[in-house]
Amino acid sequence: MPFRLPPLSEERNFGQQVRLPLFERSYPRDLVSELLSACHAWEERGKKLSQLLIVYYVIALSWFRHDNVTEVFAHLCAGLRWLWPDASLALPTGGALTARRQSLGIVVMRRLFRRCCQPLATASTTGAFAFGLRLMAVESTLDEVPDTPANALHFGRLSSGKSQSPFPQVRCWYLAQVGTHAIVDAVLARWRASEQALAAVIVRSIQAGMLVLTDRNFVSVNWLLAVRQRKAEVLSRLCAGGFTQRSRTLCDGSSLVTLPPKGQDPLLRPVIEYRLLPRVAQDRALLPISRPARPGDPAAVPRLVTTLLDPAPAP
């Protein structure tokens, strides 16, 4: 079927003509415009770089992490350059892109994240649900930020002197969905920030009907209580010496421990001990195997604590 491309005029604003359907599918153009208006973040006068385009440009920076700032912008408007009548049109410089990003600020991007980054899995998504609950995971990692004096002062480096890390490090604390890896909340802090303190912030995005999986680094009585107040459940790895106040051993080999929160009645929570046994030879490359148990070594037996008390739906 024959078709004809619409003619473009040199008088039209180049930045206003750039369309990014791949990004706009997840971050609708109307929503971005609404947030720019709500935050009073529109540009004062029409320029080649509109704030609407800069929002998508900031998102694209994480897609093309190995390209510099001008190359990333060139990726976004590569198709339009082929159609633009003025072949000598110069793209914005790195300084212009940086200045526009600074004028945009962080409020619009933060609100856009909160509005759009939600759990994606459906009931048919493999591995996203268990016991009728939506599986979520809390994860902490370190990432690099640009090597500027302000970033080095605020976030810090892993070491000092000649052995210091080449880039300042930021502590990234994520709440992500299991099965899709969709990040629904993120907290960024100094690399030395307490994981327990950051975990308390991430509770804001935990919703009813979730089962939150965590590592052993920050599990506490207050964390369990905070998640339960959101009508969600927890399944967490335990350190070797944590939650050892055994009250009763159950018939399936698990036990109940007593947790004494401050100013509240003691809580009973199940603790599960298990071993990871090697499968047949062809499966060994697919499944993790725990290190051999040593006499008197409690760390060789993984331990879990959970808020799930009913063995019928969650055996």
Please say whether the beta carbons of 258 and 265 come within 8 A.
Answer: no
Residue 151: its pLDDT value, please?
A: 92
Give the SS3 label for residue 147.
coil
Residue 287: its pLDDT value, please?
A: 43
Residue 273: phi and psi, rounded to 5, are -110, 140
Q: Which residues contact 312 (CB under 8 A, 6 or more apart)?
A: none
Q: How far apart are CA 116 and CA 272, in angstroms?
A: 37
Q: How far apart are CA 260 and CA 243, in angstroms?
A: 10
Residue 52: phi and psi, rounded to 5, are -60, -45
Residue type, 201: V
Q: What is the pTM of this model?
A: 0.78
CA 156 to chain centre: 21
Residue 145 CB-density burial (10 A; 0-12 exposed, 13-18 middle, 19+ buried)? middle
Tens place of pLDDT for every residue, the chain, 315 residues?
554 555 555 555 666 677 788 888 999 999 999 999 999 988 876 567 888 999 999 999 988 888 888 898 888 887 766 666 566 667 788 898 988 899 998 999 999 999 999 999 988 899 999 999 999 999 888 998 888 899 999 999 987 777 788 899 999 999 999 999 999 999 999 988 888 888 889 999 999 999 999 988 777 888 888 898 999 999 998 887 777 777 888 877 788 887 777 767 777 788 888 877 665 544 544 444 444 445 455 456 788 888 988 888 888
Residue 3 CB-density burial (10 A; 0-12 exposed, 13-18 middle, 19+ buried)? exposed
Residue 2: its pLDDT value, please?
A: 58
Matching residue, tokens 């979520």: 136
Q: Which two structure tokens, joined as six digits, stand for 83? A: 């159609």
Residue 170: phi and psi, rounded to 5, are -115, 135
Residue 146 CB-density burial (10 A; 0-12 exposed, 13-18 middle, 19+ buried)? exposed
With CA atoms as reference, report the closest residue to 184 among 221, 134, 225, 220. 134
Please say whether the beta carbons of 13 and 50 come within 8 A.
Answer: yes
Residue 288 CB-density burial (10 A; 0-12 exposed, 13-18 middle, 19+ buried)? exposed
